[in-house]
Amino acid sequence: MTVLPDPVWPVVVLAVISFGDGLMCLRPLPFIAQCFEDVGWPRRLWWLMPPVKFAAALGLVGGIWVPVLGLVTSAALVAYFAIAIAMHVRARDLGRNLFVNATAMFLLCIGTLVYSFLG
């Protein structure tokens, strides 16, 4: 593994997206709330989403200087979105939320992991 992720820009982009996602989950925007409802994510657990997303952003930014942290965070995000895809499929929510949100983020996370940390 190199001293720094190479290239760094995918890590920064994914960190910005994760942070923005966390902000949108603080008080879930209507489309996010609907997504949670559609997959059956219990309302009592919605409060967990912002800390998870902020932690991901922080882990990615920290991973710029401590690559193993970025590697682990990227791998955790791949797992997170694999679970999200499974939840959409289980709930038969096979529309926009599955393909535009969960699958696109899954691919972005895999790309960042492979391109910046494993490449």
pLDDT tens, position by position, for the chain (119 residues)? 456 788 999 999 999 999 999 999 999 999 999 999 999 999 999 999 999 999 999 999 999 999 999 999 999 999 999 999 999 999 998 888 888 889 999 999 999 999 999 97
Q: What is the DSSP string of the chain?
A: --SS-SSSHHHHHHHHHHHHHHHHHHTT-HHHHHHHHHHT--GGGGGGHHHHHHHHHHHHHHTTTSHHHHHHHHHHHHHHHHHHHHHHHHTT--SHIIIIIIIHHHHHHHHHIIIIII-
The region that residue 40 occupies, defined by phi over 0 for left and psi between -120 and 50 for alpha, beta otherwise, is: left
**Which tens digit of pLDDT belongs to each residue from 77-86?**
999 999 999 9
